[in-house]
Amino acid sequence: MDFSSPNVAKPMHVGHIRSTGIGDALQRVLRMLGHRVITDNHLGDWGTQFGKLLVGWKQRLNRANLAKAPMTELERLYREIHFGAETSATDLEVAAQQIEQLRLSHSSALLVWEEAMQLSSAAFTNRFTGDALKMLTEPAERALGLLAGSGLVDRERFATEREKLLADLASLVDFARQANPPLLEQARTELVKLQSGDPENLSIWREMTRLSQAQFDTIYGRLGVRFDHTLGESFYNPQLGSVVESLLARGIARESEGAVAVFSDGSLPPKEDPFLVNRDGAWVAEPALIRKSDGGFNYMTTDLATIEYRLKTWSPDEIIYVVDDRQAPHFRKLFLTFRRWQPEAAQRVQLRHIGFGKILGDDGKPYKTRSGDTIKLADLLDEAEERALRVVTTKRPELDEQTRREIARVVGIGAVKYQDLLPNRQSDYTFSWDKMLALTGNTAPYLQYQFTRAYKVTRDGGVYDPDRFAKVIPTESAELALVKHLLNFGLTLDAVSEEARPNYLCNYLYELAGLFSRFYDQCQVLKSAEPVRTLRLALCDLTARVLKQGLAVLGIEAPEVM
């Protein structure tokens, strides 16, 4: 199973919970059903981005920031060089002029506000696009955030913020304008040096990887996710040349416009052929590139080498990729190419892409902060625990702080994971703190609470005799409904594994919790006479165990006390 796969030198963000959570839940279900599972975190630790990162590291690195928040600093370096490299010379001139005008203009707190708004206005949108625009608007948005957060309009402070912001922007734009050779060229050079084994670049790359791994360890620790292997893209680097040679030798790939590419073999009708795309009524080639015209390799090549390695090393019956739905065309090409390349090996393995949709904010657009930043996973988990702590404190003020914090950790992390697993994975879903932490409805806290109730009864009720339990026939409708549902646990797990849909299990558990709650409400357990007492105690025990185990295979803990 291949899932999570974050990029080195970037903070893990909210999007990673999908691949990580769904992948981890599926591998746990498969293991529980008796499959032998190998998990492999295919880190993005070797790609074009390192060219820009190396330029940034060598020329713009702030050691103090790196020590404080390494991922933030690495991200900043990448964004700065990316901005400088991808913005045209004329646009850089325009940016420099506009910044200079802003510096000369009179500033009041109100004007700072207006100027900040202008920075993100349509005027800029027309001139700059994508990351380049963000590069300029983010500091402005941050200034805005400070203004809003201060409560008062502190004129002094914002004049200072403004100066600093404009100075930073001007310095960056100047740096980009004066770069010689241009930044894009520098980045390419650094990348080629890295890929050909330059000792200095390799050592910087190792340092960036090391810093990233520390971040990954922390986050995976909090999420309770472990991998059997972490073989990143760099691991396959030595094989890439021979992969391309082999594909060329077998006539599967050929040279095209200086690159090496795999084209359609015509075995599929055009509509189903991922190597063809229709442009204005004509089917034209949409090849898979395995070597760029500059000699570099891309992720298709790495992915082919990865399949080959996995088959050789582990002989799996199946390789499952839990990756964003947008990459579906890539995986179709990858699987088809591999089948043509190594037909005998391909017959012994099923290759599956398990896709999923996006996480949206309540504005219906991809979930971001108010200022448009991507949300860092670490921050998200912090906030989940804080919010859960507030709820726990309201409900259980008598518990000591350490206990409340531990409950909040389990509830908060569980809520985030559960919300992500609950919707059909293919559709997008809307992120909502209020909904995921709600105490009623289909949420982790509700399931966890029902577990604590069932568990409490078994603790108070003591051991029961399974033989006696087996001889009592349930009579109450609430008992019968609960018994019948308990029996479906195994069928549900089968359905989850067959369709790779953890939400089936979520719905099963929610139904179980509801049926238990009805039963608990309508049927006295401990005060009932035997043999009914044993029957009901056993039902509580079974419910608690299924809830706990069900949550566990979703990667969610069940606290004994809430």
Partner RNA sequence: GCACCGGUAGCUCAAUUGGAUAGAGCUUCUGACUUCGGAUCAGAAGGUUGCAGGUUCGAGUCCUGCCCGGUGCACCA
**Angstrom distances, CA of residue 203 to CA of 28, 59, 197, 349:** 37, 16, 10, 38
Q: Which of 157, 193, 339, 456 touches RNA by CB under 7 A?
A: 456
Q: Which stretch binds RNA (CB under 7 A): 116-124, 136-144, 199-207, 515-523?
A: 515-523
Q: In whole angstroms, how close is the CB of 460 to RNA at the nearest point?
A: 6
User: Counting Cβ atoms within 10 Å, is residue 357 exposed (0-12), middle (13-18) or buried (19+)?
Assistant: middle
Q: Which of 1, 4, 7, 447 touches RNA by CB under 7 A?
A: 7
Shortest CA distance to 351 belongs to which of 363, 366, 341? 341
Q: In whole angstroms, how close is the CB of 330 to RNA at the nearest point?
A: 6
| Distance, CA of 193 to CA of 524 (rounded, Å) | 74
- Give the three-class secondary structure for 61: coil
Bridging pattern class, strands 2-3 and 350-354: unpaired
Instruction: Please tell me whether residue 514 binds RNA under the rule CB under 7 A.
Output: yes
Task: Write out the H or E segment, with its range, that includes residue 291.
Answer: strand 288-291
Q: Which of 47, 56, 84, 550 touches RNA by CB under 7 A?
A: 47
Between 221 and 372, CB nearer to RNA: 372
| Distance, CA of 338 to CA of 341 (rounded, Å) | 5
- Residues 209 to 248 in contact with RNA, rule: CB under 7 A: 233
Instruction: Please tell me whether residue 352 binds RNA under the rule CB under 7 A.
Output: no
Q: In whole angstroms, how close is the CB of 96 to RNA at the nearest point?
A: 27
Q: In whole angstroms, how close is the CB of 300 to RNA at the nearest point?
A: 7
- Residues 462 to 501 in contact with RNA, rule: CB under 7 A: 488, 491-492, 495, 499, 501
Q: Which of 504, 538, 543, 548 touches RNA by CB under 7 A?
A: 504
- Residues 433 to 452 in contact with RNA, rule: CB under 7 A: 435, 438-442, 445-446, 449, 452
Between 116 and 544, CB nearer to RNA: 544
Within 290-400, where are the H helices?
299-314, 328-341, 343-347, 377-395
Instruction: Please tell me whether residue 331 binds RNA under the rule CB under 7 A.
Output: no
Number of residues that bind RNA (CB under 7 A): 95
Q: Which stretch binds RNA (CB under 7 A): 153-161, 244-252, 524-532, 549-557?
A: 524-532
Q: Which of 348, 370, 396, 471 touches RNA by CB under 7 A?
A: 396
Shortest CA distance to 451 belongs to which of 321, 334, 541? 541
- The pattern of x and - marking residues 250 through 289 that bind RNA according to CB under 7 A reads ------xxxx-x---------xx----xxxxx---xxx-x
Q: Cβ(493)–Cβ(546) under 8 Å?
A: no
Q: Which stretch binds RNA (CB under 7 A): 158-166, 219-227, 389-397, 468-476?
A: 389-397
Q: In whole angstroms, how close is the CB of 21 to RNA at the nearest point?
A: 15
Instruction: Please tell me whether residue 82 binds RNA under the rule CB under 7 A.
Output: no
For residue 112 the two structure tokens come to 């700072």
Instruction: Please tell me whether residue 512 binds RNA under the rule CB under 7 A.
Output: no
Q: In whole angstroms, how close is the CB of 256 to RNA at the nearest point?
A: 4
- Give the three-class secondary structure for 271: helix
Instruction: Please tell me whether residue 522 binds RNA under the rule CB under 7 A.
Output: yes
Q: In whole angstroms, how close is the CB of 353 to RNA at the nearest point?
A: 10
Between 140 and 422, CB nearer to RNA: 422
Q: In whole angstroms, how close is the CB of 492 to RNA at the nearest point?
A: 5
| Distance, CA of 486 to CA of 8 (rounded, Å) | 44
Between 142 and 453, CB nearer to RNA: 453
Q: How far is CA 76 from the centre of its chain?
A: 20
Instruction: Please tell me whether residue 395 binds RNA under the rule CB under 7 A.
Output: yes
Within 224-298, where are the H helices?
240-249
| Distance, CA of 111 to CA of 159 (rounded, Å) | 10
Instruction: Please tell me whether residue 385 binds RNA under the rule CB under 7 A.
Output: no
- Give the three-class secondary structure for 531: coil
Instruction: Please tell me whether residue 54 binds RNA under the rule CB under 7 A.
Output: no
Q: In whole angstroms, how close is the CB of 142 to RNA at the nearest point?
A: 25
- Give the three-class secondary structure for 517: helix
Between 7 and 534, CB nearer to RNA: 7
Instruction: Please tell me whether residue 367 binds RNA under the rule CB under 7 A.
Output: no
Q: Which of 145, 182, 224, 296 touches RNA by CB under 7 A?
A: 296
Q: What is the CA radius of gyration of the chain?
A: 28
Between 158 and 516, CB nearer to RNA: 516
Q: In whole angstroms, how close is the CB of 90 to RNA at the nearest point?
A: 21
Report phi then psi at 225, rounded to 5: -110, 135
| Distance, CA of 411 to CA of 405 (rounded, Å) | 10
Between 150 and 477, CB nearer to RNA: 477
| Distance, CA of 102 to CA of 139 (rounded, Å) | 14
**DSSP class per residue in 118-172:** HHTSHHHHHH--HHHHHHHHHHHHHHHHHHHHHSS--HHHHHHHHHHHHHHHHHH
Instruction: Please tell me whether residue 111 binds RNA under the rule CB under 7 A.
Output: no
CB atoms within 10 A of CB 70: 19
The distance in angstroms from the start CA to the end CA of the chain is 34
**CA 302, 2, 317: angle at the middle one, nearest 5?**
95
- The pattern of x and - marking residues 119 through 158 that bind RNA according to CB under 7 A reads ----------------------------------------
Q: In whole angstroms, how close is the CB of 5 to RNA at the nearest point?
A: 7
Q: Cβ(215)–Cβ(12) under 8 Å?
A: yes
- Give the three-class secondary structure for 260: strand
Q: In whole angstroms, how close is the CB of 185 to RNA at the nearest point?
A: 13
Between 78 and 158, CB nearer to RNA: 78
Query: Which residues are 279's β-sheet partners?
Result: 282
Between 18 and 536, CB nearer to RNA: 536
